[in-house]
Amino acid sequence: MRRKHLKQAEVRTLPNVFNTDQEDIIDRITAYFSNNCRFTLELGCGNGEYTIDLALQNPGRNYIGVDRAGARIWNAAQDADKAGVRNAAFLLAQIQRLREIITTPSVDEIYIPFPNPLPHRKNMKAMLVHPRYLEVYKAILIPGGKVHLKTDDDILFDYACKITAREKCTIHFSSADLYNANDVPGNIMLQTRFEKFHLSQGRTIKYICFSV
146 near 205, Cβ under 8 Å? no
Mean pLDDT score of the chain, rounded to an integer? 91
Q: What are 167-177's pLDDT values in tens digits?
A: 999 999 999 99
pLDDT at site 120: 59
CA dist 150 and 46 (Å) reads 15
Residue 139 has a CB neighbour count (10 Å cut-off) of: 16
Q: Which residues on neighbouring strands pair with residue 74, listed in sequence order? A: none
Above 60 in pLDDT, residue 1?
no
Q: How far apart are CA 12 and CA 73, in angstroms?
A: 9
- What single-letter DSSP state applies at residue 185? -
Statement: residue 121 has pLDDT above 60: no
Is a pLDDT exceeding 60 seen at residue 114?
yes
Expressed in percent and rounded to 5, the helix, strand and coil fractions of the chain are 45, 25, 35
Greatest alpha-carbon pair distance for the chain in Å reads 48
Residues with Cβ within 8 Å of 189's Cβ and at least 6 positions away in sequence, in order, are none
Cα radius of gyration rounded to whole Å, the chain: 17
Q: Is the pLDDT confidence value at 142 over 60? A: yes
| Section 18-44 average pLDDT | 93
**Residue 55: closest CA among 87, 15, 89:** 87
| Domains recognised in the chain with CATH numbers | 1-46+60-95 (3.40.50.150), 104-212 (3.40.50.150)
pLDDT at 190 > cutoff 90? no
Sign of torsion over alpha carbons 48, 191, 126, 170: positive
Report whether pLDDT(104) > 70. yes
Share of the chain above pLDDT 90, in %: 76
Look at residue 84 and give its three-state secondary structure. Answer: coil
Quickly count: other Cβ atoms within 10 Å of residue 39's Cβ: 23
**pLDDT band with cut points at 50, 70 and 90 for residue 5:** low
Q: Which of 25, 27, 60, 40 is nearest to 140 (CA)?
A: 40
